[in-house]
Amino acid sequence: MYLAVEAWRKSGLSQSKFCSFKKLSVKTFAYWLRKYKQEKGSLAKQETAAAEAFIPVKVPHGINKLVPDCGSIEVTLPNGVQVSCPAGIDIQQLKTLINF
């Protein structure tokens, strides 16, 4: 039925005219339209949450010994805030900066 809902959205017809043309029950179509909207809404919320999720990055201890000139660590949060600090920063200090 989701294909019918998508076809109706593209058709430009009213629900009743579309259902009449396709020989569908208006009540049944309305039910499937509600389900379609609910599912699409929850998928959109999941996609937004995934896009806004913080992705943990593990930096091995002693990275400075492996890469002497590694410079700095830059973290960009989903809201656009950027944190830049020396690569040798203590992890607790970094957490404090991010959670500030």
Averaged pLDDT, 27-55? 76
Q: Which domain holds residue 29?
A: 2-52
Sign of CA dihedral 89, 94, 95, 97: positive
| Least confident window among 36-45, 56-65, 83-92 | 56-65
Q: Is residue 57 part of a domain?
A: no
Examine the domain organization and report whether 12 and 36 are in the same domain.
Answer: yes
Examine the domain organization and report whether 10 and 45 are in the same domain.
Answer: yes
* Cβ-based neighbours of 92, under 8 Å, separated by 6 or more: none
Q: How far apart are the first and last CA of the chain?
A: 48
Evaluate whether 78 touches 92 at the Cβ level (below 8 Å).
Answer: no
Q: Please tell me the total count of domains within the chain.
A: 2
76: left (phi over 0), alpha (psi -120 to 50) or beta: beta
Q: What is the pLDDT of residues 1-17, one digit of tens each?
A: 888 988 988 998 899 99
Q: What is the pLDDT of residues 54-83, one digit of tens each?
A: 566 666 665 555 555 567 777 777 777 777
